[in-house]
Amino acid sequence: MRHLKRTAKLGRTSEHRNAMLANLVCSLIKHKRITTTLAKAKAARPVAEKMITLGKVGTLHARRLAASRLRARGRSLEQTKEQRKKWRQDEDVVRILFEDLAPVFKDRRGGYTRILQLGGVEGQFAGQRRGDAAKRAILEWVELPAGAPAATVEEAKPAEAKEAAKV
């Protein structure tokens, strides 16, 4: 019996599961929103929230813990200076976490992520993956950083386009 066994195994070994969760959280940090299965989103949520908590601490030790948990690779010395600068801006998840995301959540005391279940009434299998009918979900930050694309801005544009088309 699995009493008090909280870890979702997701059909993987512990090393594979930890690597997959680290990759999911890295993608969430880079892209601000990811689409995955509901079970993986529920498993990745605590990892992402612990990373934001480390980001709010902001010490060197917290940076090293985050880099270790996220399996973040360091910069490559074979790249040119411009390539390293671009990598640091776009791909360095530890920098994005500590300098972009953590300040957004500095006054929030938890609950940094949100899980939106995909689904609807369009078809019989709406919100399910085609191959195995797994439930899909969107994992995203509650407060999007300033540079992130906001869905509300994109939803307002079609209304303006319709008004312009009438004129």
Query: What is residue 115's predicted lDDT score, i.e. its pLDDT?
Result: 95
Write the CA distances from 111 to 8, 52, 70, 97, 114, integer angstroms. Answer: 20, 10, 20, 16, 8
Query: What is residue 94's predicted lDDT score, i.e. its pLDDT?
Result: 93
Q: Which CATH architecture has domain 14-166?
A: Alpha-Beta Complex (3.90)
Domain ranges of the chain: 14-166
| Average pLDDT, 10 consecutive residues per value, the chain (167 residues) | 88 94 94 94 96 95 94 77 82 91 93 89 72 91 71 41 49
Structure tokens at 83: 């390539």
The span from the CA of 139 to the CA of 35, in Å, is 6
Q: Taking the model in full, what pTM does it have? A: 0.79
The SS3 call for residue 136 is strand
The span from the CA of 136 to the CA of 139, in Å, is 10
Q: Provide the Cα torsion 79, 66, 149, 104; round to 10°.
A: -130
